[in-house]
Amino acid sequence: MSVRDLIPWGRSNNQVPTVFRDDDRNPFLSLHREMNRLFDDVFRGFDSRVPTFGSLSSFSAAWPNVEISNTDKEVKVTAEIPGLEEKDLEVLLDDGVLTLKGEKRSEVQDQDKQFSERFYGHFERRIPLGVEVEEDKIEANFKNGVLNVVLPKSPKAQSQVKRIAIKG
């Protein structure tokens, strides 16, 4: 196979190259075509329209983006929530589940928009903690679109951590 066979069509003619006509004889090209078809099928399931909060879109379920760190003494949750103010957020702890709620409002009326990829509306993200925390010592701060929540573990939860020796 020459390099020319890899080019889907030539500049001088619009013929389909022989690479694509006789791919049944070449197992690698058949595999390539099947892999492309597989990826097309997987990504076809994603909603190509602009996702909105509260919809069943595959993107809205994971917003806001969070980072969770778990040490021996505390659980720290950091969430990126750009475009919101502190008054638009609500942080709740109920039965071991941290809930981040809020609403992002549009600055302009819908009739003024021609195109938008921004997210607007209500959102809610629930994060199961899996450990007992000291509820009266929880700290949350919001600055520059980043929410930080520090949840100190209870002494009981800290004492339940056990190191297990690995034998080789």
The domain limits of the chain are 3-44, 60-159
pLDDT digits (tens, 9 = 90+) for 102-129: 888 777 766 666 777 777 788 888 999 8
How far apart are the C-alpha atoms of 156 and 25, rounded to whole Å? 66
**pTM of the predicted structure, to 2 decimals:** 0.56
Beta-carbon contacts of 34 under 8 Å, excluding residues fewer than 6 positions away, are none
How far apart are the C-alpha atoms of 151 and 136, rounded to whole Å? 9
How far apart are the C-alpha atoms of 65 and 145, rounded to whole Å? 12
60-159: CATH number: 2.60.40.790
Beta-carbon contacts of 59 under 8 Å, excluding residues fewer than 6 positions away, are 47, 51
Mean residue pLDDT across the chain = 76
In percent, the amount of the chain with pLDDT more than 70 equals 68
> In the β-sheet with 97-104, what is the strand arrangement from edge to edge?
89-94, 97-104, 121-128
Confidence (pLDDT) at 24? 57
pLDDT digits (tens, 9 = 90+) for 61-108: 457 889 999 888 999 999 998 888 888 899 999 988 999 998 887 777
